[in-house]
């Protein structure tokens, strides 16, 4: 599970720690951003949040881009 370390960067949407993040831009294809099959990737994470706020770089992205934060809440669909 998550460490809940106060220095850990939190998702700007839900305020919870996240397991993975990726920046996607308008025009990106699935293979450009994630690779592999969509369902195999999405099944690893129970929750996904998207925002223009990049928590790690402390910046705001332009209108054509989003940061997607992936959360593994540890359930059946979560990573083992």
User: pLDDT of 6-61, one tens digit each?
Assistant: 577 899 999 999 999 999 999 998 888 887 788 877 788 889 999 999 999 999 99
Q: Give residue 18's pLDDT.
A: 93
Q: Give residue 71's pLDDT.
A: 92
- Give pTM, 2 decimals: 0.77
Is residue 15 within 8 Å of 71, Cβ to Cβ? Answer: no
Q: Which residues partner with 21 through β-bridges?
A: 69
Cβ contacts of 27 within 8 Å, gap of 6 or more:
64
Report residue 5's pLDDT band, with 50, 70 and 90 as the boundaries.
low
Q: Give residue 53's pLDDT.
A: 97
């Amino acid at each position: 599970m998550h460490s809940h370390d106060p220095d850990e960067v939190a998702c700007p949407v839900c305020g919870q720690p996240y397991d993975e993040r990726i920046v996607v831009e308008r025009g990106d294809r699935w293979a450009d951003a994630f690779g592999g099959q969509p369902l195999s990737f999405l099944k690893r994470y129970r929750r996904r949040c998207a925002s223009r706020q990049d928590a790690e770089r402390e910046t705001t992205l332009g209108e054509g881009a989003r940061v997607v934060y992936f959360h593994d809440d540890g359930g059946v669909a979560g990573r083992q």
